[in-house]
Structure 1
Amino acid sequence: MHPQKPLIGPKTRLCMSLSARPSPFGTRFHNRMYEALGLDFVYKAFSTADLSAAIGGIRALGIRGCAISMPFKEAVIPLLDGLEPSAAAIDSVNTIVNDEGRLTGYNTDYIAIHDLLAKAGIDPALPFLLRGSGGMAKAVAAALRNSGHQKGTIIARNEKTGRALASLYGYDWAAEPEGLKAPLIINATPMGMQGPEAEMLAFDEAIIKAAEHVFDVVAMPAETPLIKAAERLGKNCISGAEVIVLQAVEQFALYTGIRPDRKLVEAASEFARDAARKEQQSAS
């Protein structure tokens, strides 16, 4: 039996997230595990219009860790003191760890995506279409390449970033997905995310029909338009809800030094998803 979580006080350690669209998942997931393990930690989600000041606050206030989401994954790098190899290799950060004022960037998205590709048993000989060229797309492309995928196309309207990412790993580039098909398709853009792009479908139905495996890294909601369409067509699906749990576990271990067991992770994940579902229902 774990000790009771202490009341918030001067010794309580704060962890946080920074995102343009703060998600309730991380707050509920981390705080639920702090409570279950009796840890003197608290987690809070934030957004900011001044990234430099926000990172300075992490350093000045001794905030233990910070999750980084779109659109800050690349912009945050010059503000840090160093990068762990997973972040340095793909030039993208989704986690900051503060060790007595030294801020180090990590990328736990890469770890989660690499593990999910392995778990799904996807043949690395299969060509893929990857939509996106931002921080999350970089993590996906690196995981694909390191999983053995040699044939693929990066789809990005931003030609500069799209070509750069494709060139880095020896893949092709296209501005739009129309006319393209592949057995594996992945969305690493905000299309389908809660907000103004919630109803957008990252790939049209003809591309989905031609695919065997569909991977959407958007976590909120778990049932994006792409995942709904793929499930209706009987495709093997990997959702962003799986990514967010695995990468959050890695963050939790980095912040606390504790790696939670599977049952605790499952319980905290279900709690966070259930709370998000209720919130979405009440909003609609």
Structure 2
Amino acid sequence: MTSTQKPLIGPKTRLCMSLSARPSPFGTRFHNKMYEELGLDFVYKAFSTTDLPAAIGGVRALGIRGCAISMPFKEDVIPLLDALEDSASAIDSVNTIVNDDGHLTGYNTDYIAIYDLLAAAKIDPSTPFLLRGSGGMAKAVAAALKNSGHEKGTIVARNEKTGPALADLYGFDWAPTTDGLTAPLIINVTPMGMQGPEAEMLAFDEEIIKASDYVFDVVAMPAETPLMQTAEKHGKTCISGAEVIVLQAVEQFELYTGIRPERALIEKASAFSHAVAREERLQSLK
């Protein structure tokens, strides 16, 4: 039972959306559940695209209030926007667009969520890390680590252009593989373990996991990736992508609606969204 009846979808309904190579059900469930509980005249829909400029043109032309941006569009979308907020301009990566009467501003709520999670985990900034990945999300994680005081770390990426560039940007080391490397903090920011063709891939060898103290997997779908399962088996302190996706979605929700939801509602919408996602994943495996 909602405290306020949600209006039926009509001409005044405001649309929010997401763009991703692999659309996830989480954002759709989470945002729509919040709209339902708060009685807001909003609706949220996930999309993919092979024509990013046309899709962003549609956001502008159709008055779509907000658009979440996921891999692989977080950097390519920047030239299509009118302005960047500090969280996005600092790392040249966008995961959220807010449309104010045709003026599109890019934000990065991933960065905000990751910074807050690192602070909550109370990881000593002197802790060395391995960060696997060099895309837009990896840039958000690297920036959050740097701004949390971390100085000793290695960006692990096979891409000989983006890997060294990300390492140089924040003063970290670079390595093309994890061969011979260990660290107390290991972080996966690649699709390895993500629902789809790489679902069974382990982002770090088990020996590297065993040698670590903290394991952070940014992959959110599923929440229990092979990396998280292996880390939990060895008793490591874990930060999951499920935590990231909720915190960044809350920031997006506030940007789109102007409302900061209470913790109880966030937890309710999160539990609902993860439960539906798990059920859909189980059905797909049958």
Residue 27 of structure 1 deviates from its aligned partner by 0.2
Root mean square deviation of aligned Cα? 0.6
Aligned equivalent of 1:8:
9
Residues of 1 paired with 2:41 and 2:193: CA distance? 36
- Secondary structure of the 1:90 match is coil
- Secondary structure of the 1:191 match is coil
**Does 1:252 find its partner at 2:253?**
yes
Aligned equivalent of 1:188:
189
Aligned equivalent of 2:202:
201
**TM-score (structure 2 length as normaliser):** 0.99
Aligned equivalent of 1:133:
134
Aligned equivalent of 2:215:
214
Residue 7 of structure 1 deviates from its aligned partner by 0.2
Deviations 1:21-58 (A, max 9, x none): 00000000000000000000000000001000000000
Unaligned runs of 5+ in 2: none
Residues of 2 paired with 1:58 and 1:34: CA distance? 20
Residues of 2 paired with 1:233 and 1:4: CA distance? 47
Aligned equivalent of 1:83:
84
**TM-score (structure 1 length as normaliser):** 0.99
Unaligned runs of 5+ in 1: none
Residues of 1 paired with 2:108 and 2:43: CA distance? 22
Residues of 1 paired with 2:193 and 2:145: CA distance? 22
Residue 280 of structure 1 deviates from its aligned partner by 1.1
Residues of 1 paired with 2:27 and 2:47: CA distance? 11
Residue 282 of structure 1 deviates from its aligned partner by 1.1
Aligned equivalent of 1:150:
151
Residue 189 of structure 1 deviates from its aligned partner by 0.5
- Secondary structure of the 1:96 match is strand
**Does 1:21 find its partner at 2:25?**
no
Residues of 2 paired with 1:45 and 1:263: CA distance? 25
Aligned equivalent of 2:166:
165
Identity %: 80
Aligned equivalent of 2:67:
66
- Secondary structure of the 1:159 match is coil
Residue 178 of structure 1 deviates from its aligned partner by 1.4
Moved over 6 A (4+): none
Aligned equivalent of 1:271:
272
Residues of 1 paired with 2:151 and 2:283: CA distance? 45
Residues of 2 paired with 1:197 and 1:51: CA distance? 24
Q: What residue identity is the alignment partner of 1:59?
A: R
Residues of 1 paired with 2:208 and 2:281: CA distance? 29
Aligned equivalent of 1:117:
118
Q: What residue identity is the alignment partner of 2:48?
A: S
- Secondary structure of the 1:16 match is strand
Q: What residue identity is the alignment partner of 1:56?
A: G
- Secondary structure of the 1:71 match is coil
**Does 1:50 find its partner at 2:66?**
no
Deviations 1:181-238 (A, max 9, x none): 0000000010100011111111001110110000000000000010000000110000
Residue 2 of structure 1 deviates from its aligned partner by 2.8
Aligned equivalent of 1:261:
262
Residue 3 of structure 1 deviates from its aligned partner by 1.7
